[in-house]
Amino acid sequence: MTGTVAPDPMSTPTVGLIDPDAELVAVLGTPGGRADPYPHYARMREHAPVFCSAMGNWVLTRFADCQQVLRAPQFGKGPDQDATARARLARWGVPAEEAEDFFEFFQRRQSMLTLNPPDHTRLRGLVARAFTPNTVESLRPHVAALCDGLLDTMAELADGGRSVDVMRELAFPLPVAVIGELLGVPVEDRAQFQALVRAATAILEPMSDLEELRAARAARLSMEQYFADLVGDRRRHPADDLLSELVAVSDGSDRLTEDEVISTAILLFAAGFETTTNLIGNGLFALLSHPEQLARLRSSAQDPGSVQRAVEELLRWDSPVQLDGRVALRATVVAGQDIAPGEQVMTLLGAANRDPRRFRHPDVLDLGRDEGAPLSFGSGIHYCLGAALARLEGQVCFGRLLTRFEEVELGDGGITHRDTITLRGLARLPVTLTPS
Ligand code: HEM
């Protein structure tokens, strides 16, 4: 662990009439703020676009500032990113030894997501060609067939006006099937990963408590064991899947270690469905809450360009990833603020996507909007590797759903938001369906 120079929270003035820390805490730590973070984001963005939080990190909410940090070589990934979590554990009185042991565990488990060049470049380069727009586009008919199969089941379940949970029947199983097949995870093993990935991603949530972090560690160990066995299997019996390709690369040269194969497989599998599940859930909920936009998409569901723009707008409107961040590798200035090496910066992507400096009338859902990509997939060298795949899944899913069902309406019982903010999504989205 290198030394972290935490900025002094007391030195940050409360700007204007708001207390930016209270707004941040509302978003990160209250059910109301998590259900609707956007008014809180707006107050931070307008009155305190850069401030140092009581947690000791800088917080950014404007599009240009967030993009600058995600792209600039002065920022990167690093063990210092754990400093916030360390400070939190210390505040809770967690014994230093346990905290240290915990962080060591996670620091040993690096993937491209947590590494800087040159390791990042090497790991990303090895799998990047499986996710190029052209390779991904060739999957479209197959993704559509998978989606149609799930819609068939939904039609049966919805018979007689019964509510069907979209999260359970479509938003989770579609992305998990797509990435599961690409990677080569047997169909019967996939369902167990929802709980494991959810437990493991507690490490990404700023408010996770010690029990959740312990569960994250246990889940990570289970996934490692699972993928170690699967890698062993592919080494003995290579198949036509990405995991076998990774194994071949690691056997063929010294460019990928066994641990790196396992970490890459876990990253691809976890990132491949958890976020896309939330694109489908958040996106459909946005449509159901804006019937005029739903009708607009329905009327143009056969036009690929319209569906593409719609998915881009749904990604902007309620981003499945709300929070990203970097650590300063060198002294730099962001939004007029000096940032010292080792200091951490939190970029609130959901806030940046509603920045009126970047998008006209950002609080209006407008499926015809054509103003360029939001920050939902990040930016710079860690820009989402699976962006083309996620977009394709979203396009197929909304297009097929609206073609297949003449009416889709909110069902009984209402929605529930998950208790998370980095990965924002719904636990439940009941709908009723009328076949076309
Ligand atoms: C709507 C769905 C998705 C969203 C919103 C999303 C969002 C993101 C974001 C914001 C990052 C950047 C993280 C950072 O800056 O540190 C990222 C990275 C990544 N995503 Fe996605 N993602 C989605 C789907 C997928 C899918 C389907 C895959 C499947 C392969 C995937 C694989 C990855 C990988 C491997 C990285 C790490 C890239 C790197 O560090 O170079 N994502 N994603």
Quote the DSSP letter at residue 184: T
Bond before 118 cis per omega within 30 degrees: yes
Q: Atom 27 of ligand 1 has which residue's CA nearest to it?
A: 272
Q: Residue 39 has which token pair? A: 């008014």
Q: How far is the CA of 383 from the centre of ligand 1 (A)?
A: 7
Closest-lying ligand 1 atom to the alpha carbon of residue 114: 40
At 434, is the secondary structure helix, strand, or coil?
Answer: strand
Buried b (16+ CB within 10 A) or exposed e, 102-125: bbeebeebbbbbbbbeeebeebbe
Amino acid letter, residue 204: L
Report yes or no on 2 lying in a domain.
Answer: no
- Chunked mean pLDDT (size 10), the chain, 436 residues: 35 63 93 93 96 92 98 86 64 75 76 93 90 93 97 96 96 94 93 88 82 88 95 94 89 76 93 93 98 97 95 98 95 96 94 98 97 98 97 98 96 89 94 94
Q: How far is the CA of 265 from the centre of ligand 1 (A)?
A: 13
CA distance 270 to 274: 6
CA distance 43 to 62: 11
CA distance 358 to 17: 24
Question: How many domains does the chain contain in total?
Answer: 1
Report yes or no on 3 lying in a domain.
Answer: no
pLDDT reported for residue 109: 78
Could you tell me the pTM of the whole model? Answer: 0.92
Q: Residue 274 has which token pair? A: 């958890």
DSSP characters over 360-417: SSTTS--TT--S---STT--GGGS-TTHHHHHHHHHHHHHHHHHHEEEEEE-TT--EE
Report yes or no on 376 lying in a domain.
Answer: yes
**Residues 6+ away with beta carbon under 8 Å from 335:** 49, 50, 60, 62, 65
Ligand 1 pocket by C-beta < 6 Å: which residues?
70, 112-113, 124, 131, 179, 267-268, 271-272, 275-276, 279, 320-321, 324, 376-378, 382, 384-386, 389-390
Q: Atom 17 of ligand 1 has which residue's CA nearest to it?
A: 384
CA distance 37 to 33: 5
CA distance 164 to 409: 10
Among the listed residues 257, 260, 318, 258, the one whose alpha carbon sits nearest the alpha carbon of residue 287: 318
In the beta sheet, which residues pair with residue 431?
A: 164, 410
Asked if 100 contacts 22 with a C-beta cutoff of 8 angstroms, the reply is no
Q: How far is the CA of 122 from the centre of ligand 1 (A)?
A: 17
pLDDT reported for residue 198: 86
Report yes or no on 4 lying in a domain.
Answer: no
Q: How far is the CA of 127 from the centre of ligand 1 (A)?
A: 13
Residues present in the chain in total: 436
Residue 401 sits in a domain of what CATH number? Answer: 1.10.630.10
Q: How far is the CA of 14 from the centre of ligand 1 (A)?
A: 34
What range does the domain containing 296 cover? 9-435
Q: Best of 384, 391, 397 to mutate for ligand 1, by most ligand atoms within 8 A of CB?
A: 384
In the beta sheet, which residues pair with residue 270?
A: none
pLDDT reported for residue 257: 86
pLDDT reported for residue 253: 62
- 338, containing H or E segment: strand 337-339
Report yes or no on 1 lying in a domain.
Answer: no
Residues 310-338 have pLDDT tens digits of 999 999 999 999 999 999 999 999 999 99
pLDDT reported for residue 87: 67
Asked if 122 contacts 255 with a C-beta cutoff of 8 angstroms, the reply is yes
Q: Atom 30 of ligand 1 has which residue's CA nearest to it?
A: 386
Residues 79-101 have pLDDT tens digits of 655 566 666 677 667 777 877 77
**Residues 6+ away with beta carbon under 8 Å from 369:** 309, 312, 313, 316, 359
Closest-lying ligand 1 atom to the alpha carbon of residue 378: 10
Q: How far is the CA of 299 from the centre of ligand 1 (A)?
A: 31
